[in-house]
Amino acid sequence: MKLQFLILIVFFAFCSNRSQAQDHWKTKEYQFIAYDKIPTWSGVISSWSNKVPKVHLYNRTKYKGHADFVSKGLKTGITFAQFKDRVKSPNYRQYIPFFLYDLRKMPIQISGTTYKWALRMEDYRYEDNASELALTVLKTIHTVYKHLLKSDDKVGKGIIILATSGTARPNTTAKGLLNKNGYPNKTITELIQLAENASSPKKSASKTTTKSSSSSKGKVKILNEGTAYGYIKYVKAGQEKTTSSNYQNILVYEQLPYRVPIANGIITLEPQTPLSHINLLAKNRGTINAYILGEHSNKATLNQYIGKLVKVETTKDGLSIKLAKEEDAKKFWASKKKLKVNIPKPNKDVKFLSYFEIGSKSVQTVNCIGTKASNYALLQHKFPQYVRPGFGAPFHFYFETIKESGADKLIKSLNDTKGKLSTSERNKKLKAIRDRILGAKVPKSLLNQLRNMFDEYFKNTKVRLRSSTNCEDLPQFNGAGLYKSKGFQTKLSNTELEKKILAVYASLWSELAFEEREFFQIDHQQVGMAILINQSFDTEYANGVAITMPNTKGTPSIYINSQYGENSVTNPNSGQVPEAIMFKQFDSKWYSTQSKSNIKNVFVDNSKLTPTVRELQKLTAQIDKLLRSKIPSSSSSAYGIDIEFKILKIDSKYKLYVKQARLLNTTLPQ
């Protein structure tokens, strides 16, 4: 009887696996049309190191990309950066993202064999060497092949899509091993042409006209409609990583880039998919995105526009490009109100350090001490047992410093002329501003106040000066990682202390920070640098990040990523996998384990920290309520919170501390 029962279980499991494949291959559930012609699925292979990896085809209308599906669909809660690390590293690989193309209605003949499907792996800058990557590609397509066999034993082997460029991965260096195992390879451009010929061999391969002042013809696919004004900047193959840009450029790429710097528009001369990183980036920024194939896609045709100011219009009917007038472009750039972020105006009159515990709350505001410091002050008042004493150096001292050094005049000059400068000219001006600040003198009043505070609270202790601007940690502008912090022992000399302060001040004018603010049309002359001061954390037992993810049901989840010791969760070294757990609701009795640390467990299988994780769960829910109460209720559903925490082990007891907390836009970055 037990044997019969076991056989039934195996039978039903087998049927379940078959039906899972049938749901997609047979019913075409979750398909979308790529390249105007080819039915396509988005997919992820998980449990890569297992003997039998799992294949997931997911609903692209529900999830914003592969990382979003793994984070939310598979309920891992991992960030995009963590997802990338678990794709690209051969030693710690857990996932392979791919696109599956359905060719059944347009079967392709190659050397007398008919092929009904093709597969393309997403380029995540795989760290495998050439031979390792060939084996990875083979394992990927064979895993999907075995998955499809569950529902169609006549499906046959598929085609693998490879890049011809040596800088793209995977590329044609893998073709020998694949051909040997019965998997031919094509480029995506070749696949599109073959599919078009197979479906309508007597018709023209191009149905879409590229409208332009030169009347050139070509195949155009608009992935994000809109209008752009900008200077055409042509990016040759191999220059994707080194090309700089700003919002006044429209970038034309010979080859698909992995990431795109700030630009007013994106045009690629290789095909994209609607879920490509490039398109998700364009949608988030609100900029146009398209690809062009055919006659119009060659450089000779585009040559008349390179370096010139143009207007590009993209609609579902096609793309038009023509020369533009500077006054029209300036009006357009100024009209992009949806990209504009208005930051709090800095109060330059407050001249004294704010002691959060005993000082006036009237100056513990974003306008006086920046967002990071004001959030910390709020936490210290509401949850004093979880934060170390904090202090805020107001904006006044920053503005006095740039005035004394003459950097304020350089900043004004840059702001007045930025629209006329090339990127290199702008970067030279930014460096001049930083150099002027680094060579400045900090007001003696600030040094004296800091020295008095150090003697009273932090004598012979290590502290940290943390950037706290009015242009970061805002609900509408995160700005994480743009500015510097500095740690040191308080016994250092005033000369060394001054250098630390000036380094934090100067970081306000890094190229990266300027570009990001410029994209969101932040008024650079209104930005200011205050400083949050508190004791550094040394030799912590563990550190981590807790985020809340709201949903339409009003029952937000809590995701916690943690790592043993001082190993970073927010910027992990390649190959390091943090621990990930999730509380489905704020008041859930249990958490689910999404991944274990490959260094050492923190909360998982560690009963000594069970009270601490419960404490963190409760505190996270309370801070979520506190911070989201600061924004209009109509938009609060789009935000969760982001908490950085530390756990110290003191005399065999564990102590939880909050390092910082901020509102978090819950849209997963692309």
Say if residue 6 is in the same domain as residue 79.
yes
Q: Please, which residues bridge with residue 530 across strands?
A: 468
How high is the pLDDT of residue 167?
Answer: 72
Domain CATH for 634: 3.30.470
Say if residue 323 is in the same domain as residue 413.
no
pLDDT in tens, 624-634: 999 988 877 66
Is the pLDDT at 407 greater than 70, yes or no? Answer: yes
Is the pLDDT at 652 greater than 80, yes or no? Answer: yes
| % of residues, the chain, pLDDT over 70 | 87
| % of residues, the chain, pLDDT over 90 | 53
* H-run or E-run covering 41: strand 38-46
CA atoms within a 13 Å half-sphere pointing along the CA-CB vector of 40: 24
Residue 48 burial class via C-beta count within 10 angstroms: exposed 0-12, middle 13-18, buried 19 and up: buried
In a domain? residue 503: yes
Is the pLDDT at 320 greater than 50, yes or no? Answer: yes
Is the pLDDT at 2 greater than 50, yes or no? Answer: no
Long-range CB contact pairs, 407-415, < 8 A, 24+: 407/433, 407/436, 407/437, 407/440, 410/436, 411/509, 411/524, 411/525, 412/525, 414/524, 415/524, 415/525
Least confident interval from 482-491, 514-523, 653-662: 514-523
**At 575, is the pLDDT very low, low, confident or very high (cuts 50, 70, 90)?**
low
CA dist 504 → 499, 530, 531 (Å)? 9, 9, 8
Domain total in the chain:
4
Spatial separation of the C-alpha atoms in residues 401 and 421, rounded to whole Å: 26
In a domain? residue 426: yes
Q: What is the CA radius of gyration of the chain?
A: 28
Say if residue 413 is in the same domain as residue 317.
no
Mean of the pLDDT values across residues 323-329? Answer: 94
Spatial separation of the C-alpha atoms in residues 329 and 319, rounded to whole Å: 18
**At 419, is the pLDDT very low, low, confident or very high (cuts 50, 70, 90)?**
confident
Q: Please, which residues bridge with residue 563 across strands?
A: 543
Q: Helix (H) and strand (E) counts for the chain? A: 17, 27
Among 110-114, 189-193, 405-409, top mean pLDDT goes to: 405-409
Say if residue 323 is in the same domain as residue 258.
yes
Domain stop point among 336, 364, 386 = 336
Say if residue 34 is in the same domain as residue 162.
yes
Mean pLDDT rounded to a whole number for the chain: 85
Among 123-137, 283-297, 471-485, top mean pLDDT goes to: 123-137
Is the pLDDT at 290 greater than 70, yes or no? Answer: yes
* Residue of 276, 267, 273 whose CA lies nearest to 234: 267
How high is the pLDDT of residue 284?
Answer: 58
CA atoms within a 13 Å half-sphere pointing along the CA-CB vector of 290: 29
Say if residue 485 is in the same domain as residue 502.
yes
* Residue of 326, 267, 244, 253 whose CA lies nearest to 515: 244
In a domain? residue 433: yes
Say if residue 162 is in the same domain as residue 240.
no
Residue bearing the bigger pLDDT, 435 or 320: 435
Is the pLDDT at 604 greater than 90, yes or no? Answer: yes
The three-state secondary structure class of 321 is strand
* Amino acid of residue 570: T
**At 11, is the pLDDT very low, low, confident or very high (cuts 50, 70, 90)?**
very low
Say if residue 516 is in the same domain as residue 369.
yes
How high is the pLDDT of residue 258?
Answer: 64
Pair type for strands 185-186 and 219-224: unpaired
* Amino acid of residue 113: T
Contact 411/524 with Cβ under 8 angstroms?
A: yes
In a domain? residue 641: yes
Domain CATH for 387: 3.30.1490.20
How high is the pLDDT of residue 214?
Answer: 31
Say if residue 42 is in the same domain as residue 186.
yes
**At 16, is the pLDDT very low, low, confident or very high (cuts 50, 70, 90)?**
very low
The three-state secondary structure class of 546 is strand
Domain stop point among 512, 535, 558 = 535
How high is the pLDDT of residue 199?
Answer: 63
Q: Is 112 left (phi over 0), alpha (psi -120 to 50) or beta?
A: left
Say if residue 268 is in the same domain as residue 375.
no
- For 477, the domain range is 354-535
Residue 301 burial class via C-beta count within 10 angstroms: exposed 0-12, middle 13-18, buried 19 and up: middle
The three-state secondary structure class of 265 is strand
Is cis: bond before 632, omega within 30 of 0?
A: no
In a domain? residue 598: yes
How high is the pLDDT of residue 292?
Answer: 86
Mean of the pLDDT values across residues 46-74? Answer: 90
Say if residue 368 is in the same domain as residue 513.
yes
Residue bearing the bigger pLDDT, 243 or 137: 137
Residue bearing the bigger pLDDT, 454 or 273: 454
Is the pLDDT at 297 greater than 70, yes or no? Answer: no
* Residue of 314, 240, 229 whose CA lies nearest to 277: 240
Mean of the pLDDT values across residues 480-492? Answer: 87
pLDDT in tens, 227-256: 999 999 999 887 887 787 878 899 999 887
- Angle formed at CA 665 by CA 663 and CA 669, multiple of 5 degrees: 135
